[in-house]
Chain A
Amino acid sequence: EPEVTQTPSHQVTQMGQEVILRCVPISNHLYFYWYRQILGQKVEFLVSFYNNEISEKSEIFDDQFSVERPDGSNFTLKIRSTKLEDSAMYFCASRETGLLGYFGPGTRLTVT
């Protein structure tokens, strides 16, 4: 069964550093998402991406965040200058045309 993959599984970084989280969505999917989940809290929408551009973003997705699809397979989330409160699980998801999204296993980001 096709699946969304994410790397790394765990990233530890110092406050102020830049991080790039990587995702490989399911190959024929067209819509891509990033969500985050602070430990013990709800899953929060960050951004959606379609046709090589951001289609929607939440209030959380400020100028520190950016997304890119550098080639035909990868979808990345960059955080330019990490803050302590960016520590969370970051989930990538993709979907074909319907509303059903497939989640990746997540990257645990720890900012120290």
Chain B
Amino acid sequence: GQQVMQIPQYQHVQEGEDFTTYCNSSTTLSNIQWYKQRPGGHPVFLIQLVKSGEVKKQKRLTFQFGEAKKNSSLHITATQTTDVGTYFCAGGLINAGNNRKLIWGLGTSLAVNP
């Protein structure tokens, strides 16, 4: 079936170090979304990428969508303790019946040591 693989599953960094999480889809996506979930919280939307090769930045966060629209990455520069949480990618699919759904990755849990 359709899957979105996300790596790594866990990452511990020292505050100030960079962090990257990667998503790979088994199928071409119509878009990809990134969410952040703080411990005990719910997924909060960060960004959506739609175009092939798209790159978007939000302060220290850089999001990329691959040329083939099958992979994506989230890079955080100079992590801070407020970056702690689980980062999920979710690939958007539109099926033959024009129904839309998101296929979620497993998430990458980020721990930041002060």
Determine if B104 is an interface residue (Cβ-Cβ < 8 Å). Answer: yes
Instruction: Decide: A103 near B44, CB < 8 A? Known: A42-B105, A43-B104.
Output: yes
Chain A's interface size range is 20 to 34
Q: Given the complex of chains A and B, what is the CA–CA distance between A89 and B42 in angstroms? A: 9
Q: Given the complex of chains A and B, what is the CA–CA distance between A45 and B48 in angstroms? A: 18
* Residues 38-63 (chain B) with a chain A CB within 8 angstroms: 41-45, 48
Chain B nearest CB, measured from A58 CB (Å): 9
Q: Is the CB of A45 within 8 A of B104?
A: yes
Q: Is the CB of A42 within 8 A of B106?
A: yes
Q: Is the CB of B48 within 8 A of A56?
A: no
* Residues 48-69 (chain A) with a chain B CB within 8 angstroms: 48, 55-56
Determine if B12 is an interface residue (Cβ-Cβ < 8 Å). Answer: no
Residues in A with CB closer than 8 Å to B95 are 56
Q: Is the CB of B33 within 8 A of A99?
A: yes
- The closest CB in chain A to the CB of B107 belongs to A42
- The closest CB in chain A to the CB of B103 belongs to A45
Q: Is the CB of A91 within 8 A of B43?
A: yes
Chain B nearest CB, measured from A1 CB (Å): 12
Which residue numbers of A lie inside 8 Å of B, CB to CB? 31, 35, 41-45, 48, 55-56, 89, 91, 99-106
Which 7 A-B residue pairs are closest in the complex by CB-CB distance?
A42-B106, A43-B104, A99-B92, A106-B42, A55-B99, A56-B99, A103-B42
